[in-house]
């Protein structure tokens, strides 16, 4: 069995699931997600359970379990040779050693690169899809986007990138001119003259006041307790303009349009110690 210690928001949950799933399929063994961290974590909700996943979701309460399964303690066990089946990610960059892990591996990390799972893309498109029953609240929006001749999603990530100093130091914010330039790039690349822009954000009022785009805009407030619905809507747009966020990364990756144009910010991290070379797929444009 492959075990993944799940952590972070929905985008990170999906990276971890996808990497674990690639390993489980390689060896023909089940995948288990240990979601115990979410018993003590209230920054982002656990939402992968609303996807059509193929795994066991497991959780164990108790501070003893939490301490024993912490990265610090597990790393200590590994140093003494007591956890030969353990992998703890040390860098955000792609590590090919992950793909060589055995059928009993337990992995800790974010695994933010499609290089870990691009080989099973078609399967993931099915498994990382929202359960039909959960889509009922947005059925009208789904219809509107699907019937639009040329739709472009624009995701403006603010939230903790604004309010949390540590998050801001790592990620920073996309400049306003990035979004307008990206729209023009998409139109030029797709040879379209106009589009309907679907703006998604966790701060939609700020977007209405500050985001100046010369096209029809539909503003969609982020659903804090059901982010998978916004991700689904973004993935239905013909083209995607993403922020430096794994959330909109996944919306673009899940977009099935074979002629899609995806634009990502050239500067993904504010911190100069982190590289996004393995994070952004090579066929996406960067501005």
Q: Do 82 and 159 belong together in one domain?
A: no
Span 116-133, mean pLDDT?
A: 96
As a whole number, mean pLDDT of residues 210-226 equals 88
pLDDT at 70: 81
113 and 171 housed in the same domain: no
CB 151 within 8 A of CB 196: yes
277 and 151, same structural domain? yes
Query: What end-to-end distance do the CA atoms of the chain give, in Å?
Result: 41
Q: What angle, rounded to 10 degrees, do the helices at 227-236 and 139-146 form?
A: 20
The enclosing H or E element of 108 equals strand 106-108
Contact 246, 159 (CB under 8 A): no
Q: Are residues 282 and 159 in the same domain?
A: yes
- Residue 227: CATH number of its domain: 3.40.50.11350
Rounded distance between C-alpha atoms, residue 202 and residue 223, angstroms? 8
Mean pLDDT rounded to a whole number for the chain: 90
16 vs 57: CA distance, rounded Å: 13
| Residues 77 and 145 both lie in one domain | no
- Shortest CA distance to 252 belongs to which of 186, 207, 208? 186
Q: Which domain holds residue 161?
A: 137-286
**pLDDT reported for residue 225:** 84
pLDDT, tens only, 229-278? 999 999 999 999 999 999 999 999 999 999 999 999 998 887 777 888 99
pLDDT digits (tens, 9 = 90+) for 21-80: 999 999 999 999 999 988 887 777 899 999 999 999 988 888 878 877 888 877 877 776
Q: What is the pLDDT of residue 168?
A: 57
- Edge to edge, the sheet with strand 216-221 lists 216-221, 196-201, 151-156, 239-241, 262-264, 285-286
């Amino acid at each position: 069995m492959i075990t993944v210690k799940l952590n972070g928001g929905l985008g990170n949950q999906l990276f971890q699931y996808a990497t674990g799933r690639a390993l489980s399929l390689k060896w023909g063994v089940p995948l288990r997600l240990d979601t115990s961290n979410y018993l003590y974590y209230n920054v982002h909700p656990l939402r992968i359970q609303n996807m059509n996943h193929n795994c066991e979701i497991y959780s164990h309460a108790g501070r003893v379990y939490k301490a024993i399964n912490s990265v610090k303690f597990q790393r200590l066990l590994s140093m003494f040779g007591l956890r030969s089946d353990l992998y703890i990610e040390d860098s955000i960059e792609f590590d090919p050693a992950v793909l060589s892990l055995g059928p009993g591996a337990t992995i800790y990390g974010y695994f933010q690169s499609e290089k870990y799972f691009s080989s099973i893309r078609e399967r993931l498109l099915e498994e990382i899809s929202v359960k039909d029953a959960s889509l009922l609240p947005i059925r009208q929006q789904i219809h509107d986007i699907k019937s639009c001749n040329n739709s472009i999603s624009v995701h403006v990530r603010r939230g903790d990138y604004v309010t949390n100093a540590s998050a801001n130091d790592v990620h920073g914010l996309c400049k306003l001119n990035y979004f307008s330039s990206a729209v023009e790039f998409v139109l030029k690349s797709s040879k379209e003259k106009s589009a309907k822009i679907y703006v998604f954000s966790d701060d939609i009022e700020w977007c209405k006041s500050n985001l100046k785009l010369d096209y029809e805009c539909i503003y969609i407030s982020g659903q804090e307790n059901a982010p998978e619905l916004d991700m689904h809507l973004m993935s239905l747009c013909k083209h995607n303009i993403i922020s430096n966020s794994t959330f909109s990364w996944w919306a673009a990756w899940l977009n099935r349009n074979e002629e899609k144009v995806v634009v990502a910010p050239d500067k993904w991290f504010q911190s100069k110690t982190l590289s996004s070379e393995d994070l952004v797929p090579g066929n996406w444009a960067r501005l």
